[in-house]
Amino acid sequence: MNDSKLILVLGDQLSTQQPALRAAVPGRDIILMAEVAEEASYVRHNRHKIALLFSAMRHFKHELESLGFRVEYVPFEAGMSSLEAAVSQVLDANDVSEVMICEPGEYRLLEQMKDVWPRTLGTRVTLLEDDRFLASHTDFAEWAQGKKQLRMEFFYRKMRQRYQILMDGSEPAGGKWNYDADNRVGWRNQVEIPDRPDIRPDAMTSEVIEMVLAKFPDNPGDLRQFRLAVTKTDAERQFDWFVENTLGDFGTYQDALVEESPWVFHGLISMYLNAGLLDPLPVCERVERAWREGKCSLSAAEGFIRQVLGWREYIRGIYWLLMPEYKERNTLGAARALPAYFWDAKTDMRCLSRAIEQSLDHGYAHHIQRLMVIGNFALLAGLDVMEVCDWYLAVYVDAYEWVELPNTLGMALYGDNAVIASKPYAASGKYIQKQGNHCQQCRYKPTKVTGPEACPYNSLYWRFIDKHMDKFGSNPRMGLVVANWRKRDPQEREVIVSWADKMIADWT
């Protein structure tokens, strides 16, 4: 046996800087990339996600070949069932000493690769830690060790210090760690939102799009609108455009809900970061530079860096710290089936309909839509935690379980027993009205709580408080709301809760 290695590169590991490729030697090792049925169908992925990954994988194959690597590439049309089958096929035809893989981003695959593959493939399988992230598993576990509460804010400060991002020596730049309070302005058409530059699909992407349309006829995603970057160069151009054109307004309108634009001033980079086309540290450094050069405010730069250096790393840390038990959690016992309109956006609630529609069509919704429109609705209506998580995993172009699960189960649905959120992100229609302009186009009124014109979020909100008041009465951030609800006339409370119950019964 020679010392040649088979290096499997997954669809979300498309970086020459990932550890398995850093260890690869052209002329000695074989690289395998495979488009396979199992990965393409474990949820009903958005077609944008499949097209993005398959096209980016095909482009990356050429990049690796130009670096002198031998790449075995299995296209979807070959009908390969699974990654394991693809590895097995290459092993049968070649003399290699071991299979080497950068660890996958989902627990289900890690388990297979670690516990099953060595036996079924009869070969050593070496998994390397994915050091494209800025906090290793050990870093996060050490930080979490002995803490009663794992609050993102404190993890984030540690990361700022460690990477010297937005720091003046040992102090945070500007004297404050967090400018969150400046990031909550509601949308009233204050400034113009620039059009995004178009990336037209090249011949390879167009071919992938045709194939995806033919092979995934029932998946969500309007591929006529496919405009994603599929190479590192184009992803970097997209990110540059964001820094030059919308970063300045990103901070102020980070939480805004905007009728006219799905993207608002957001970065639109999660799909590239998660697939390996962008790296988190250069992204943060570039944004810091923009601030130091006077191109944006500190609150915009900090607001953005907090998301990438703070939230993204923290969320991943929680996933690997608490899996597989984490996935079984359902603190509030939410078990109601998902309404059909999650798959066709046909609801009269304008904010929800817009957020679902663009999620299905583009595979994108910004954070506040995911958290405070769709997630908040699922929380208030008590929708089944796993069904909701599967929906999020399916519809978004940036969704992988390491990032989707803690955000959905933990942050949006308060299903993880307060690990991520110290209080539920529950809000009535008034919050949605304050944050944007959907209500102006809606047949429901955010000022009404019951009756056919009432915004459904209102009575659902009070029903949620009523249902869980024993649990949240002693929560310092919820106590006042619960106390006020308790003080209200019992008959009035009954009318509101019954109205919410009736609405829910009508959907199901």
Site for ligand FAD in 62-101 (CB under 6 A): none
**Interface of this chain with ligand FAD, residues 298 to 337, rule: CB under 6 A:** 304, 307-308, 311-312, 315
By beta-carbon proximity to ligand FAD, the closer residue of 370 and 438 is 370
Q: Residue 323: which residues within 8 A CB-CB, separation 6 or more?
A: 107
Binders of ligand FAD among residues 396 to 455 (CB under 6 A) are: 396, 398-399, 403-404, 407-408, 411-412
Question: Do 6 and 32 form a contact (C-beta atoms < 8 A)?
Answer: yes
- Residue 16 CB, shortest distance to ligand DLZ, in Å, is 16
Query: Which residue from 155, 480, 178, 201 is spatially nearest to 318, judged by alpha carbons?
Result: 155
Shortest spacing between CB 400 and ligand DLZ, in angstroms: 4
Point out which residues bind ligand DLZ (CB under 6 A).
Answer: 10-12, 34-36, 39-40, 45, 50, 53, 83, 104-106, 109, 400
Q: Which residues of 332-366 are buried (b: 16+ CB within 10 A; e: fewer)?
A: bebeeebbebbeebebebbbbbbbbbbbbbbbbbb
Phi, psi for residue 288 in degrees, rounded to 5: -60, -45
CA distance 141 to 135: 10
Locate tokens 């670690």: which residue? 114
The least distance separating ligand FAD from the CB of residue 315, rounded to whole angstroms, comes to: 4
40 binding partner (options ligand FAD, ligand DLZ, none; Cβ < 5 to 8 Å by kind): ligand DLZ
Residues 11 and 53 sit within 8 Å (Cβ to Cβ): yes
Token readout for 207 is 């071919």
The listed partner (ligand DLZ, ligand FAD, none) that binds 34, CB under 5 to 8 Å by sort, is ligand DLZ
| DSSP H or E segment with residue 70 | strand 70-74
Residue 128, judged by CB atoms within 10 A of its CB (0-12, 13-18, 19+), counts as middle
Q: Give, in order, the Cα–Cα distances in Å from 175 to each of 178, 302, 352, 357.
A: 9, 12, 38, 41
- Asked if residues 444 and 429 have their Cβ atoms less than 8 Å apart, the reply is yes
Q: Establish if 366 lies at the interface with ligand FAD (CB under 6 A).
A: yes
Give per-residue burial for 130-145: e unless 16+ CB within 10 Å, then b: bebbbbeeebbeebbe
* In the complex, minimum distance from the CB of residue 299 to ligand DLZ, in angstroms, rounded to a whole number: 33
Non-local CB neighbours of 333 within 8 Å, separated by 6+ positions: 382
Contact 460, 282 (CB under 8 A): no
Contact 251, 223 (CB under 8 A): no
Answer with the entry of ligand DLZ, ligand FAD, none that 404 interacts with (C-beta below 5 to 8 A by kind). ligand FAD
In the complex, minimum distance from the CB of residue 204 to ligand DLZ, in angstroms, rounded to a whole number:
16
Asked if 273 interacts with ligand FAD (CB under 6 A), we say: yes
Query: Which of residues 345 and 495 has its CB atom nearest to ligand FAD in the complex?
Result: 345
Binding residues for ligand FAD, rule CB under 6 A, total: 28
Q: Which pair of structure tokens corresponds to residue 76?
A: 């979807």
Tokens of 318: 């929680």
- Selection from ligand DLZ, ligand FAD, none that 105 binds (CB < 5 to 8 A by kind) is ligand DLZ
Q: According to the binding rule CB under 6 A, does residue 252 interact with ligand FAD?
A: no
Considering only 267, 339, 363, 446, the residue that binds ligand FAD (CB under 6 A) is: 267
* Nearest-approach distance from CB 309 to ligand FAD, in angstroms: 9
Asked if 478 touches ligand FAD (CB under 6 A), the answer is no
Considering the complex, state which of residue 304 and residue 414 has its C-beta at the smaller distance from ligand FAD.
Answer: 304
To ligand FAD, the closest distance from the beta carbon of 241 in angstroms equals: 12
Query: Considering the rule CB under 6 A, would residue 352 count as an interface residue with ligand FAD?
Result: no
Q: Please calculate the CA angle 94-96-99 and round it to the nearest 5 degrees.
A: 115
Whose Cβ is closer to ligand FAD: residue 47's or residue 61's? 47
Binding at 274: pick from ligand DLZ, ligand FAD, none (beta carbon under 5-8 Å per type): ligand FAD
Q: Which residues pair with 454 in a beta bridge?
A: 445
Q: Is 367 in the site for ligand FAD (CB under 6 A)?
A: yes
Smallest gap from residue 139 Cβ to ligand FAD (A):
17
Of 31 and 351, the one with the shorter C-beta distance to ligand DLZ is 31
Residue 296, interface with ligand FAD (CB under 6 A)?
no
List the single partner that 411 binds among ligand FAD, ligand DLZ, none, CB under 5 to 8 Å by kind: ligand FAD
Given the rule CB under 6 A, which residues bind ligand FAD? Answer: 266-270, 273-274, 304, 307-308, 311-312, 315, 366-367, 370-371, 375, 392, 396, 398-399, 403-404, 407-408, 411-412
